[in-house]
Amino acid sequence: MMKIVQCVPNFSEGRDLEKVEEIVSVLKNKEGFKLVSYEPDKDYNRTVVTLLGNPNDIIEALIPFTKKCLDLIDMNHQTGEHSRMGAIDVIPFIPIQDTTMDECVEYANTVAKKINEEFSIPIFMYAEAANIKARVKLPNIRKGEFEGMKEKIKLEKWYPDYGNAEIHPTFGVIGVGARIPLIAYNIDLDTENTKRTGFIARTIRFSSGGYRFIQAGPVFLESRGHTQVTMNILDYTKNPIYRVLEAVKMEARRYNINVPSCELVGLIPKTALLKTIKYYFQVEGRDFNEDMSLEEITKYSIEYIGFRDFDKSKIIEANI
Amino acid sequence: MMKIVQCVPNFSEGRDLEKVEEIVSVLKNKEGFKLVSYEPDKDYNRTVVTLLGNPNDIIEALIPFTKKCLDLIDMNHQTGEHSRMGAIDVIPFIPIQDTTMDECVEYANTVAKKINEEFSIPIFMYAEAANIKARVKLPNIRKGEFEGMKEKIKLEKWYPDYGNAEIHPTFGVIGVGARIPLIAYNIDLDTENTKRTGFIARTIRFSSGGYRFIQAGPVFLESRGHTQVTMNILDYTKNPIYRVLEAVKMEARRYNINVPSCELVGLIPKTALLKTIKYYFQVEGRDFNEDMSLEEITKYSIEYIGFRDFDKSKIIEANI
């Protein structure tokens, strides 16, 4: 078996599509890994890139990728709905095949060191790659964002893991980490009321008393004219999609708000979808069989979860 | 205003009703506080006592109450569905009117010291009254129960807050604490399958990834012929009843299990019920008014939550 990791760099440009194309161009048609997708988002002003393949080839390619972001993005003039602390905001490594979490922590440190040496961009190590407990959770590091980081990084407790106590003046800082597959899952609500959507998000997110492995918040999508509960599911084995989806519907019901659709940013493991399809099959009294094809999984995911802009290529296993 | 606290001692006898009567007799018709209720449970083999009134008068009365439990209960021969570590298992103090949490911590320490000096029963301080972080959560202290405590208490990290590293041979140990009003809430399931009920309990409890302020587990009620999800809601402002009730119904649906009723052990603050009534009113499009009478709150709680064995006297405010 071949070592395969997933790497999901997020960069802070999602509106100027020419720039987006130029940045991702250095990741296209490379030996050793696949550019599975890149998803620019106008409202977030952010693009999520998904790479899958040999860890060393991915690390190699992240250097010219960082150079492009450095040349084309100036954080002093960047705004968007998604919080961010750098032109590349985060670079997480995820073990997929024949790789351990410890190895992913090593890959994360290798690329962090290289980027810092080459471009003098300070790096914070997060999630499984964190060296300090207060840095395990990314929102802790990112609090204050690019603008606040200028002062924050000067505090002793926020001295970066790589680099000095000074942000890069146009790039900011990067969070580099290792983690299990995280699901970036957003639930659309047919309301423009961000306050109510915020209330609903708080009912499911851990920091406000909700589910243990959910980070969530409200976003208004200008381009679509409605809000959504945007979330990270940090452990889908403990907090499956159906559970948060049904919890959101339950809370939305009191405001007479409907849930017309959902979306997924980046990839999802097959088992995460099967877990949710199984729930709806059981509710409807249908026979469930674990061994369904990726095509069937795709079909039932759209039918039961209500994914929009979803196809088979969103499933990790379809890309290996 | 008068200082009023709630104190909810739990003792480990719920089957021999003569003994139960004799134990609670020392709490009846006393000056300064009210014996609001005592609820013996056959399956749990445990009685929950609720006292409301002047803290010093309650502390005073807890000494003869402890003596009765010591005389009538031998933990070496006690069995039941509820985990327990002593003839009196816990004594929590809850601020209700004109008292602070800090004062309740003081009351807890006063009674703990008195009981230990009088009867040589070791005491662990828990919740807000904990002196050690590992003792904040009661289940951590109680793990191993009466039987395991003989050895556990000899470990350096489990040296009791009052007394020596040796359990009382027939009484065991007591947890004494202070906390905000906790809701002891049980959801009945129309199944005898404890394994499935356990699965459902795990979907809502914090320790398995569920809601942050929920402790829950499965119990089979021999006397009623069905299981229930038994739980403590540690913070009803963050995890209201309707949310856990609807979450349990949602999980139960996949197994075609119904939720015929619920029960409350001990008292509940008015606002906790209003929060849940409001949800169901909103779902049904009814006008909601905070200023309903205790009678109306009782009626709607039974109607929407499905409480059995419930009346106005279960509401804290009806007893002041």
Which tokens go with B71?
Answer: 């005389």
Q: Return the CATH fold of B4-178.
A: Formiminotransferase-cyclodeaminase; Chain B, domain 1 (3.30.990)
- Can you tell me whether residue B277 is helix, strand or coil? helix
- For B43-70, write each residue's pLDDT tens digit: 999 999 999 999 999 999 999 999 999 9
With contacts defined as CB-CB under 8 Å, which chain A residues touch B212? 206, 209-212
Look at B255 and A208 and tell me if their CB atoms are within 8 Å: no
Mean pLDDT for the stretch of residues A137-162:
96
Judged by a CB distance cut-off of 8 A, whether residue A119 touches chain B is: no
Domain chopping of chain A, boundaries: 4-178, 183-319
ipTM score: 0.74
Residues of chain A contacting residue B251, judged by C-beta atoms under 8 Å apart: 243
Cβ pair A254:B285 closer than 8 A: no
Angle at A207 between CA B237 and CA A234, to 5 degrees: 135
For chain B, give the mean pLDDT: 96
Q: Is B213 on the interface with A (CB under 8 A)?
A: yes
Give whole-number Cα distances, B165 to A314, B107, B159, B172, in Å: 58, 23, 6, 11
Min CA distance, B284 vs chain A (Å)? 8
Chain-chain contact of B211 with A211 (C-beta, under 8 angstroms): yes
Per annotation, catalytic residue among B77, B82, B168, B226? B82
Chain A residues touching residue B287 (CB < 8 angstroms): none
Beta strands in chain B (DSSP E): 4-7, 10-11, 33-41, 46-53, 88-97, 123-127, 174-178, 183-189, 214-221, 226-233, 262-265
Average pLDDT over residues A131-137: 94
Closest-CA distance of chain A to residue B206, Å: 7
By the 10 Å C-beta count (0-12 exposed, 13-18 middle, 19+ buried), A231 is classed as: buried
Does B213 sit within 8 Å of A206, measured CB to CB? no
**Would you say A160 and A175 are in contact if contact means Cβ atoms under 8 Å apart?**
no
How far is residue B204's CA from residue B239's CA, in Å, rounded to a whole number? 10
- State how far the Cα of A247 lies from the Cα of A211, in Å rounded to an integer: 10
**Most A CBs within 10 Å, among B203, B206, B211, to test the A interface:** B211
User: In this structure, are residues B41 and B47 in contact, taking their beta carbons and an 8 Å threshold?
Assistant: yes
Rounded CA gap, A46 and A68, in Å?
15
Contacts of B211 in chain A (CB under 8 A): 209-212
The CA-based dihedral angle spanning residues B74, B76, B81, B87, taken in that order and rounded to the nearest 10 degrees? 40
| Dihedral sign of CA atoms B54, B55, B57, B58 in order | positive
Which residues are paired to B219 by β-bridges?
B228
Which residue blocks in chain A are alpha helix, DSSP H?
17-25, 55-72, 101-119, 138-142, 145-152, 194-204, 241-253, 270-283, 294-305
- Chain B residue with CA closest to A251: the answer is B243
Asked if A285 and B256 come within 8 Å (Cβ–Cβ), the reply is yes
Whether the CB of B282 is below 8 Å from some CB of chain A: the reply is yes
Q: Across the interface, do A238 and B211 touch by the CB < 8 Å criterion?
A: no
Query: What is the mean pLDDT of the segment spanning B176-201?
Result: 96
B82 an active-site residue? yes
CB A243 within 8 A of CB A277: no
Closest by Cβ to A212, choosing from B209, B235, B255: B209
Does A1 score more than 90 pLDDT? no
pLDDT at residue A298, rounded to an integer: 98
- The answer on pLDDT for B1 being more than 80 is no
Which residues from B are below 8 Å from A238, CB to CB?
208-209
**Per-residue b/e over B111-137, b at no fewer than 16 CB within 10 Å?**
bbebbbeebebbbbbbbbbbeeeebbb
> Is B212 part of the contact surface with chain A (CB cutoff 8 Å)?
yes
* Helix or strand (DSSP H, E) at A95: strand A88-97
DSSP tag of A206: G
Chain B nearest CA to A232, separation (Å): 14
pLDDT digits (tens, 9 = 90+) for B15-34: 999 999 999 999 999 999 99
Q: What's the pLDDT tens digit per position in A269-317? A: 999 999 999 999 999 999 999 999 999 999 999 999 999 999 999 999 8
Q: What is the C-alpha to C-alpha distance for residues A34 and B194, in angstroms, rounded to an integer?
A: 47
Are A209 and B255 inside 8 Å of each other by CB?
A: no
Residue burial A193-219, b: 16+ Cβ < 10 Å; e: rest: bbebbbbbbbbbbbeebbbbbbbbbbb
pTM for the structure as a whole? 0.76
Nearest-Cα distance to chain B for A5, in Å, is 26
pLDDT digits (tens, 9 = 90+) for A69-85: 999 999 999 999 899 99
> Helix, strand, or coil here: A281?
helix
CB B171 within 8 Å of CB B84: no
Model confidence over B239-280: pLDDT tens digits?
999 999 999 999 999 999 999 999 999 889 999 999 999 999
DSSP B42-108: TTTTEEEEEEEE-HHHHHHHHHHHHHHHHHH--GGG---SS--SBSEEEEEEEEEES--HHHHHHHH
CB contact under 8 A, B243 and A256: no
Q: Which one of 3.30.70.670, 3.40.50.1240, 3.30.470.10, 3.30.70.260 gives the CATH number of domain A183-319? A: 3.30.70.670
pLDDT at A320: 80
Q: Are the beta carbons of B239 and A209 separated by less than 8 Å?
A: yes
Residue A266 confidence class, pLDDT cut points 50, 70, 90: confident
Report CA-CA distances (Å) from A62 to A11, A65, A113, A118, A179. 12, 5, 12, 12, 18
Stretch 223-252 of chain B: residues touching chain A, C-beta under 8 Å: 235, 238-239, 243, 246-247, 250-251
Virtual torsion, Cα A24, A28, A33, A36, nearest 10 deg: 70
Q: Which element (helix H / strand E) includes B117?
A: helix B101-119
Nearest CA in chain A to B234: A209
- How does residue A102 score in pLDDT terms, banded at 50, 70 and 90? very high
Mutation site for B-interface testing, chosen from A206, A212, A288 by largest number of B Cβ within 10 Å? A212
Separation CA B95–CA B97 (nearest Å): 6
For residue A250, what is the nearest residue in chain B, using CA coordinates? B246
Q: What is the CA A138 to chain-centroid distance, rounded?
A: 11
